[in-house]
Structure 1
Amino acid sequence: MAKRIDVDVHGMPYPNPPMLAVEGELPTGPGWSMEWKWDGFRCCLRVGPNGITKLTSRNGNDLTRSFPDLDGIFADTLGGRVGVLDGEIVVLNETGRPDFGLLQLRHQLRPRRELLQRHPAAFYAFDLLMLGREMLLHEPYERRRELLVGLGPFATARTVITPAYRDVDPQRLLEVAREHHLEGLVAKRVTSHYLPGRRSRDWIKRPLINTLDVVVCGWRPGRGSRAHMVGSLVLGAREKGGRLRLVGDVGSGFTRHTLDDLERLLSRIGRPDSPFTEHVPAEYARETRWVEPLIVGEVAFRSWTREGRMRHVSWRGFRGVAQ
């Protein structure tokens, strides 16, 4: 049974923290739907009664000003109704594929007009959480998808309803994802309800690369033209109980804009000693400038070493600031 949801004084619905998937092997039996895993920013998109759009990140940060080209994209479709959609903000490269590096470039508080025109953003919707002030969280996935698909077709490439596949071999879909350089697959149980802020085995993801949320614990200067600038970051991961564990370092995947932001942030949070309680090996401690463990980011990596360090690591973007 659909339930009503509260809205603010302007009629704008409140955001929902996203439902999260468990990583694992893809199920092969009936009762599952397969969706592509996109290389973008997870986003809760809310539409008010006047068509105004609000964008909220997975961690609750407001992305609206960073992506003004997405304002009002569902206004005509909803026709004055309020709505909440779950999806991803993506930026496509010249081959038509989602490009996380270009998305990082776009992620600025007030992007220039030239940047908006050169790298327009799109919203890839894969779930509908509210429509006309009726909460759909307790509706089964297949019903929510039916309502979502019913919103289209759209007149602009900035709005996309992502495809979903039933009764298809997931291994074949993984091969297609690999061929087209997509991030992987997510399997969703068709009878599942939407569980805000919870990780559930009703959604199972199979990424083609590993990703990890990390905490920046220190930085080392670069070499050559990057001397006296950030060359690499020393990274930790939070374990149960809040303890920081050293997981490696990263020196690739940074844009010029990202490096500028890092230098500005890191200069304010320096500390004289390591934030790790464990002993830090010399190869990580050497030349490292330690910082308070406040900056949260995401990295991609290929595998783990026996020592619990990441291999072939690349920076993917900021996640926010730890509380």
Structure 2
Amino acid sequence: MPNPRTLEYAQQITCIDTFYQRQGLAACYLLESEGEAAFIDTGTSNSVPQLMAVLEQKGISPSQVRYVIPTHVHLDHAGGAGSLMSQLPNASLVIHPYGAKHLIDPSKLIAGATAVYGEEAFEKQFGQLIPIPEERVIQAPDGFRCHFGNRELLCLDTPGHARHHICIFDEQSRGLFTGDTFGLSYPELSGTQGPFIVPTTTPIQLDPDAWYETLDRLMELKPEKLYLTHFGEVSEPEKLVGQLRQHLQEFTTIALAAVEEPGEQRKSEIERALQKWLLQKLEQNGNTLAADKSLELMAMDLDLDAQGIEVWLARREEAAAG
């Protein structure tokens, strides 16, 4: 287990690298206020020792943590929730109502991930998923607010990437903790034109129309900062939301161009088109990373994005067929 890697931001916000897959791929956040604290996202169970080490380094007792708030139940965001909660005696878990049952009883999450990765790989990547007692779980409908210290967090229902996704607005920092709703923006992808945003269209609940509405709603809050799980703080939300909208539209165009491809060939064609799209866009953004390095960096994400786009196409076809 690596030593904790953290980035300290203004307004008592700490970004903690969860070391999922590699350094700099996924993060969670620790917020502090008046001797109390909250985590937003958790990484996997393998990440939890690092989160606890950060508390120790900061002199924060586990009993001072009031909330654990996963943005959604995908395992790179919430896989460690049960393990973390077991070490935080006074914390409540705050989660979208559609996601609560999966953290109270993670058996379906375990079965689904094990089917994809196999038992050995699942254990290596995610560790154990520990159930959370129902009485410690708070379901957060749209507009739910939680308080700790002098801080108030607003939870918003934000479908698009996933139906059970919430984003969290922190009035103190004017910051949005966006999970996957603002896509991903790895520092390695930045260029002379600034950060580069890639939509995250992983299976199975991609809904572009809902996503556009979500982005409109988030911008009504006039956030000053975005805190992405993948990865870190980014500025200029108004500029980035335009980029994300454009890129999401281009993803759906790629999907519809592949609609006639048969079976497994369709997913492969979508992934090839996404790779070509990525390299073109990175060049336009002034990124100088070699093409092979860019594709290596994004290999897992593009594979998952292609899978999600293919599922979306299949769902559209089923709906059209009646």
- TM-score bucket (shorter structure): under 0.3
Name the structure where helix makes up a greater proportion of residues: 2
The structure with the larger Rg is 1
Which structure has more RCO (C-alpha within 8 Å, separation ≥ 6)? 1
